């Protein structure tokens, strides 16, 4: 019997209506498949916040400058960031990962590919080799976390301008109009949203990324942190570690990872669905059903760590002794009766 079948069988022994915990049961079964055992454990968990800057900020696509990326990364290193505050009650260790910020921040895990990407409205955001290296580094970072004893990882991001790059990648890979996949990000005005959409259209026109080649799309209109997160999802699959998405930008990277390796989607758990319009589209495209829909758009991995306490509660039931056998009652059957 495989780990997933054994996990589902375990759920069916719990004294409750069958499938009463719904998608939480599915997630535990999925984790069993990822870890290769029905003895699901996620006691040691981390949040990896991939940070990078974007040259397209020059086009007025954000309400603040790229200097904010380093400021937030610094707060994460200090332990005072939003993600740190939300990860603490979830028992998750937080790491800021510098994939290519304009300013180096001491205390980050550094995989720097440069001081931010180029302005994608004028040419490729990065070279293909840079994108490939960033993907490789993200994959190996998850492998390193696995070797350090972590059992599950939340994948988050920080980078001023990265909703612009993520929207461009999504538009190309999903074959959808820019208008359908582009939101206000951190709160753009109507005029700012128009500039953002225009910049994405120009970037796609100038670079002509090939939708059949995910790496071509990534290096032309993506970002260093987008590439790193794509690699992290591939690492989840390679190293048998469940990885949790966090809203629109990590979801776009999950889409890239699934295009590079379709099997990688099996290791990805949906943290939440954000209010950015394309996030739900990607979730549906990847056949993911998030259990959290709170209208969030904070980023940094905050929506991802929110899933951890829900999984903890489900696992208390899963590993508990409140079984049909313990109560001395007949088990429910799949047909809804009892045996």
CB atoms within 10 A of CB 310: 16
- Residue 300 annotated in active site: yes
What is the residue whose two structure tokens read 């004893």? Answer: 149
What is the distance between the alpha carbons of residues 221 and 124, in angstroms, rounded to a whole number?
A: 6
Q: State the residue for tokens 């998608």.
A: 23
| DSSP H helices in 157-247 | 162-174, 178-181, 190-207, 214-221, 224-238
Tell me how far apart the alpha carbons of residues 98 and 196 are, in angstroms, rounded to a whole number.
Answer: 25
Q: Where does residue 333 rank: exposed (0-12), middle (13-18), buried (19+ CB within 10 A)?
A: exposed
End-to-end CA distance of the chain: 22
* Annotated active-site residue in 59, 157, 225, 300: 300
**Burial of residue 295, with CB atoms counted within 10 A of its CB: 0-12 exposed, 13-18 middle, 19 or more buried:** exposed
For residue 90, the Cα-to-chain-centroid distance in whole angstroms is: 17
Q: Torsions phi, psi of 260, nearest 5? A: -75, -35
Distance, in Å, from the CA atom of 209 to the CA atom of 125, rounded to the nearest integer, reads 11
Q: CB under 8 Å to 186, separation ≥6 — which residues?
A: 62, 63, 64, 163, 297
Nearest by Cα to 283 from 138, 101, 275: 275
Q: Which two tokens stand for residue 118?
A: 């180029």
Distance of alpha carbon 91 from alpha carbon 323, whole angstroms: 28
The residues annotated with a catalytic role in the active site are 300
């Amino acid at each position: 019997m495989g780990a997933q079948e054994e996990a589902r069988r375990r759920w069916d022994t719990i004294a409750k209506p069958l499938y009463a915990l719904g998608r939480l049961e599915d997630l535990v079964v999925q984790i069993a498949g990822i870890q290769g055992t029905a003895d699901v454990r996620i006691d040691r968990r981390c949040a990896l916040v991939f940070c990078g800057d974007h040259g397209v900020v020059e086009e007025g696509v954000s309400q603040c400058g790229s200097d904010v990326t380093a400021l937030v990364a610094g707060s994460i290193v200090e332990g005072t960031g939003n993600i740190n505050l939300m990860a603490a009650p979830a028992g998750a260790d937080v790491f800021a990962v510098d994939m290519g910020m304009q300013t180096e921040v001491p205390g980050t895990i550094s995989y720097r590919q440069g001081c931010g990407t180029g302005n994608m409205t004028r040419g490729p955001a990065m070279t293909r080799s840079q994108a490939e290296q960033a993907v490789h580094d993200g994959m190996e970072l998850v492998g390193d976390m696995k070797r350090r004893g972590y059992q599950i990882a939340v994948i988050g991001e920080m980078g001023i301008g990265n909703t612009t790059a993520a929207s461009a990648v999504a538009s190309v890979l999903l074959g959808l109009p820019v208008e359908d996949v582009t939101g206000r990000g951190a709160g753009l005005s109507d005029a700012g949203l128009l500039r953002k959409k225009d910049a994405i259209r120009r970037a796609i026109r100038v670079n002509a990324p090939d939708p059949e080649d995910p790496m071509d799309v990534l290096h032309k209109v993506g970002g260093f942190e987008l590439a790193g997160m794509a690699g992290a999802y591939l690492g989840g699959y390679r190293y048998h570690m469940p990885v949790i998405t966090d809203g629109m930008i990590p979801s776009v990277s999950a889409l890239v990872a699934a295009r590079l390796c379709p099997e990688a989607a099996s290791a990805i758990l949906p943290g939440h669905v954000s209010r950015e319009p394309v996030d739900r589209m990607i979730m549906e495209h990847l056949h993911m059903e998030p259990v959290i829909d709170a209208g969030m758009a904070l980023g940094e991995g905050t929506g991802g760590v929110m899933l951890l306490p829900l999984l903890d509660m489900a696992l208390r039931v899963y590993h508990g002794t409140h079984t049909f056998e313990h109560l001395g009652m007949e088990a429910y059957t799949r047909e809804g009766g009892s045996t």
